[in-house]
Structure 1
Amino acid sequence: MLDFFVIFTKGGIVLWCFEGTKDLFAPSVNALVKSVLLQERTGISSFTDASWTLKYRLDNEFDLVFVVGFQKILQLSYVDKLLDDVQREFRDKFENLLTEHSYYQRFSFDSRFAQLQTVAEQWGQQKAEAPRTMRSFEQSQKSQKTVASMIEKKGGDNKENKKPGKDKKKKKGAEAEPVAKPAPAPEPEPEPEPAPEPGMSQEDQIMANRRKMMMKMSGGGGKKKEPKSPKSPAAGGGGKKGKKEARIWALSGGQKDAASLDFSEAGDGKESKRPEFVPDTSMVGAMAGNIQDMEVDEESEPEEQQSAAPTKQKSGGVFGMFKSLVGSKTITKENVTPVLNQLKDHLVGKNVAADIAAKLCDSIALKLEGKVLGTFEGVAQTVRQTLVDSLVQILSPKRRIDILRDVMAAKQSGRPYVVAFCGVNGVGKSTNLAKICFWLIENGFSVLIAACDTFRAGAVEQLRTHTRHLNALHPPEKHGGRQMVQLYEKGYGKDPAGIANDAIGFARESRVDVVLIDTAGRMQDNEPLMRALGKLIKVNEPDLVLFVGEALVGNEAVDQLVKFNQSLADHSASDRPHTIDGIVLTKFDTIDDKVGAAISMTYVTGQPIVFVGCGQTYTDLRNLNARAVVTSLMK
């Protein structure tokens, strides 16, 4: 049933291996190491590659990795038990060799592995054949909950947080002060029935009471109602209903102001009333070369000094929660789980998606399990370093995207370099496309913008305005009469894939260096638009596909990226679909220290954040600084 089982060190030395297949499984194990272990995604319990499903265990004490592989179409319930048993038996049998790092000795484990596999298979068969019985209420977690445990108490057992009116338990030998209970409201006494007048029968008396009741209801009896005071003429009284006057807002304008506000082209040889754009020449030359990195907050950098200081802090920092681990000889999963739950809440509060935060904490638990620590400083420092290393590794790209180098290589081969932008509505695709366009022309490359957003009204006009402003900053006179930015558009309602194809052909004929394709914003659940995006990328095969996402999102970031990647893969009709290559993170200047979206996006895709938008001008474009993001996350 199992195809292979391999035990190797974190340094790459294979200690023992079981082969149940003739197929070469080394590439799948290498993919597991590259995509999961090295990318700090150890919170993922299983990994699928080719036709195999791989599961693994980490042993931090001896730096070992246990990997088992089987066909992904199989559902084997005993694999986890087998991994645990093999890990325990292998450690106990070869503890001396592992302690002395004698990795080049022979590890004879075949017979014992066969016994453990047989026991695990029998256990799995018994578990499958055993009838499943419903849990009783006493066995469920709900039975363990009480009303007191569901009441949130701030600051410990604070008496002020307890609700008044509850009976408090009296301690032995202590006198409880009597609590004055509020007197119940007196119930209204029923009105006594009127006695019949002398000389009248009971039926006559009932009829007389009915007549009195009818007179009261009609207003003819009892107290006379006072006449209402007439309304003032200003309030609309005086018998006639007054009209409500329309409110006039200040600076609202009117029809007479429409002529002065019309900046459209005059036509017929007349001069245009459009105000002349005055370019900010201070921006020119500011983005030559590579893009600058984000700035690091210096005030929050010395976290170790704050945790080691004897002064009291309000919470001791995010790592003050690890005080509960002081004195533990060996960190186990049981004593680190409550602390990591608090760390998960901290990450979620920093805008990290809940699933990603849980996987990060699981990864840290796997790294800490089995470590021997003593003092609080050692625990805090080790946990902090573990988390920082994991986050920096996640944010560091698997492959470096050097757009300037790739554009130069495409230019030498006589073809344009094509970049496609995609994303949901309103994240700033067109604005950040203009920023990247400005950066490219600052480095001497000509750009053609393909207006493939044929759905949103004003999308083409927005790109036309950006084109005019960019050409004003870099006029043709400064580049030998060559126009640095051009717009290729065919209006609205056309096929975006066809427009992009024609734009790339035009750029090839005109010797334009870069083509930037602006696509329409679309929600990840919009199947027709996602199919159109997949067609555009399949037909035109751009060199780079950038997903534009905003830094304000939390759990939605995971859903957007997963469904965009899945849709591109489903609609490509290819064995190797072209999915998202990189991420442009916008509105980064609006989130303060809630930078968790960067972690969520890179964790889901494994692709780098190529650009970070941090303002509204053309120069507000930065490279992601992993250390700066982690520093903000640790505040």
Structure 2
Amino acid sequence: MGLANGKENARSNNGAFDVSKLQKLKSKGVKKTTDTSVVVSKGSKADPKKKVTKKNRVWDDSPKDAKLDFTDPVEGNGNGNENIQVVTADQGESMMDKEEIISSDSEEDEEDEEVGKDSKPDAKKKGWFSSMFQSIAGKANLEKADLEPALKALKDRLMTKNVAEEIAEKLCESVAASLEGKKLASFTRISSTVQAAMEDALVRILTPRRSIDILRDVHAAKEQRKPYVVVFVGVNGVGKSTNLAKVAYWLLQHKVSVMMAACDTFRSGAVEQLRTHARRLQIPIFEKGYEKDPAVVAKEAIQEAARNGSEVVLVDTAGRMQDNEPLMRALSKLIYLNNPDLVLFVGEALVGNDAVDQLSKFNQKLADLSASPNPRLIDGILLTKFDTIDDKVGAALSMVYISGSPVMFVGCGQSYTDLKKLNVKAIVKTLLK
């Protein structure tokens, strides 16, 4: 043969296929299948004397050399290994302090190349606008009838991205009002004009009306010798306690001393869950157990923070549905009695139309049940489970639109570092693609 390559040499080294022996056998005129030491045919059976048996594993009740528990101790629910402590330095940098890079979108460039061609553009290449929306050459002003087909397509697209129907309708009405009567340049597609107007509207909505800089406000409160108080509110099961711990971790990275206040005195296991996070982050926690008035517990926690020098108090509250009158009254009392610096609504990115109902009713109840003539409402939004929604990012738009409050934090994973800022450009790009 004379074609022994690297792979065959490797095989010969392992004793599986020796080329030199085969060549010697050929020169002697002996068939290769006669020597079982060289090649074993497919039909032959292995020698029972050389049969390799699998060695049984011996399990010991207390293995010393192997670690059998590979569970991640970061995300706790109060039922984990109580002896494991996760130090904050082991987790890395919070995503809040990392800049997110957005890739350039080439879809618009591809659509622009199609404008001016004599042939009819392919609907599949046009993206989500139908090929029926052609340019209007020489038309003086846009009329509502001209805009309706493009706006209808845009509304449907927003709703597929989980934007609440009534908000998508209002946005389209706003865009129509801004474009009606406007002159359209020649060879400009109505779809492009509508999309540009909608993009401006979305950026305007998602951009915070007022700046909330927590780190700056924390230092301002420190100069006044009082702790900065944040109250986390929201419906059941959205992840308030877990994301409260993520915010605590981010503050710790900025050398801010934090204390947790366990004011969820209703749900079984809530205090233990927060206690687990506090132990893993190695920060103090104020707790009074269950069946206590959460407003009083929060007040005592703030007093304790002032005594021990904690700069920030993160108040965990019980999850409650927006229609639960007794629990909403208790929440209103907590906010009125303690006058926190920030009221954060924690909501899921998974919700669609329900986001509008939750936020609007929370604000309405806080206003109706407050004893103050100027009641405190929701100041900001923490959006959880953002990593589970793919391109269905409409809940962020719905929440901001209905409340006027900015999305301050976005939870996007299962560790303490998985908390980031809302990237407005990325959200708008996803909504319109």
Match of residue 46 from structure 2: none
Cα deviation for residue 316 of structure 1 reads 1.3
SS in 2 for 1:323: coil
Q: Distance in 2 between matches of 1:402 and 1:559?
A: 28
Does residue 361 in structure 1 map to residue 169 in structure 2?
no
Q: CA deviation at 1:324?
A: 4.8
**In the alignment, what sits opposite 2:211?**
400
Q: 2:112 aligns with which of 308, 315, 320?
A: 308
2:260 is the alignment partner of 1:449: yes
CA deviation profile, 1:100-146 (whole Å, cap 9, x unmatched) = xxxxxxxxxxxxxxxxxxxxxxxxxxxxxxxxxxxxxxxxxxxxxxx
Deviation string 1:467-521 (CA, Å, 9 cap, x unpaired) is 11112xxxxxxxxxxxxx1110111111100100000011111111000000000
Cα distance in 2 between the residues matched to 1:404 and 1:426: 28
Report how far residue 281 of structure 1 moved.
4.2
1:631 aligns with 429
- Structure 1 residue runs without a partner (length 5+): 1-259, 262-272, 472-484
CA shift, 1:282, in A, is 4.2
Structure 2: distance between partners of 1:627 and 1:495: 43
| 8 A Cα contact 2:111 2:126, kept in partner | yes
Q: How does 1:228-307 map to 2 (within 5 A)?
A: 274-277=82-85, 279=87, 281-284=89-92, 286-287=93-94, 291-296=97-102, 298=103, 301-307=105-111
Separation in structure 2 between the aligned mates of residue 360 and residue 623 of structure 1, nearest angstrom: 24
Alignment partner, residue 491 of structure 1: 289
Residue 330 (structure 1) aligned with residue 141 (structure 2): yes
Give the match for residue 136 of structure 1: none
Measure how far apart 1:374 and its partner are: 4.3
Is the CA contact (8 Å cut-off) linking 2:165 and 2:353 kept in structure 1? yes
**Higher-Rg member (1/2):** 1
Deviation, structure 1 residue 583? 0.4
The one of 322, 329, 351 equivalent to 2:162 is 351
Paired residue secondary structure (2:410): strand
Q: Deviations over 1:11-30 (max 9, x none)?
A: xxxxxxxxxxxxxxxxxxxx
Alignment: residue pair count? 348
Q: Which of residues 548, 560, 570 is equivalent to 2:358?
A: 560
- Kept in 2, the 8 Å contact 1:451–1:487? The answer is yes
Residue number in structure 1 paired with 2:128: 318
Q: CA deviation at 1:418?
A: 0.3
Which position in structure 2 is the counterpart of 1:44?
Answer: none
Candidates 330, 335, 340, aligned match of 1:542: 340
What is the identity, as a one-letter code, of the residue corresponding to 1:308? D
Shift of 1:363: 0.4
Structure 1 residue 306, shift from structure 2 partner: 2.5
One-letter amino acid of the counterpart of residue 133, structure 2: K
Structure 1: which 4+ aligned runs deviate by more than 6 Å? none
Q: TM-score, normalised by structure 2?
A: 0.76
Once residues 135 and 330 of structure 2 are traced to their aligned partners in structure 1, the CA distance between those partners, rounded to angstroms, is: 54
Aligned counterpart, 2:313: 515
Match of 1:527 in 2: 325
Q: CA deviation at 1:410?
A: 0.4
**What is aligned with 1:439?**
250
Distance in 2 (alpha carbons) for counterparts of 1:320 and 1:413? 59
**Paired residues of 1:325 and 1:335 also in contact (CA < 8 A):** no
- Note the C-alpha offset of 1:342: 2.1
Name the amino acid aligned to 1:304. E
How far does residue 539 in structure 1 lie from its aligned partner after superposition? 0.4
Q: For residue 326 of structure 1, what is the amino acid of its counterpart?
A: I
CA deviations on 1:569-606 (whole Å, 9 max, x unpaired) are 01112221100000001111111111111110111111
Name the counterpart of 1:270.
none
Gaps of 5+ in 2: 1-67, 70-80, 115-120
CA distance in 2, matches of 1:439, 1:362: 40
Q: 1:602 to 1:294 in 2, by over 3 A?
A: farther
- Offset at 1:295? 4.5
Note if contact 1:307-1:319 (Cα within 8 Å) is conserved in structure 2. Answer: no
Question: Contact (CA 8 Å) 1:446, 1:512: kept in 2 or not?
Answer: yes
Query: In structure 2, what is the Cα distance between the partners aligned to 1:598 and 1:361?
Result: 17
Task: Call closer, same or farther: CA 1:383–1:376 in 2, change over 3 Å.
Answer: farther
Structure-2 change in CA distance of 1:322 and 1:460 (3 Å): farther
CA distance in 2 between partners of 1:624 and 1:398 (Å): 14
In the TM superposition, residue 294 of structure 1 has moved relative to its aligned partner by 4.4
TM-score w.r.t. the length of structure 1 is 0.53
Match of 1:424 in 2: 235
CA distance 1:279–1:416, change in 2 (3 Å):
closer
Q: Does the 8 Å CA contact 2:163/2:397 hold for their aligned counterparts? A: yes
Amino acid at match of 1:307: E
3-state SS of 1:548 partner = strand
Q: Distance in 2 between matches of 1:322 and 1:400?
A: 43
What are the Cα deviations for residues 32-53 of structure 1, in whole angstroms up to 9, with x where unaligned? xxxxxxxxxxxxxxxxxxxxxx
Distance across 2 between alignment mates of 1:411 and 1:620: 27
Alignment of 1:600 with 2:398, yes or no, is: yes
Secondary structure, aligned partner of 2:284: strand
| 2:43 paired residue number | none
Relative contact order, higher structure (CA 8 A, sep 6+): 2
Which residue of structure 2 lines up, in the alignment, with residue 617 of structure 1?
Answer: 415
- CA-to-partner distance for each residue in 1:438-474, whole Å, 9 max, x for gaps? 0111111111100000111111111111111112xxx
Cα offset, 1:319, TM superposition: 3.8
Quick one: structure 1 residues 275 and 415, their matched pair in 2 at CA, closer, same or farther if it must change by over 3 Å? closer
Shift of 1:293: 4.5
* Contact 2:94–2:420 (CA under 8 A) maintained in structure 1: no
2:193 to 372, 382, 393: 382
Deviations 1:551-577 (A, max 9, x none): 111100000000000001011122211
DSSP-derived class of the 2:265 partner: coil
Q: CA–CA distance in 2 between the matches of 1:406 and 1:274?
A: 35
How far apart are the structure 1 equivalents of 2:89 and 2:227? 28
In structure 2, the CA distance between the partners of 1:274 and 1:372, relative to structure 1 (3 Å rule), is closer
In the alignment, residue 354 of structure 1 is paired with which amino acid?
E
**276, 281, 285: which one aligns with 1:465:** 276
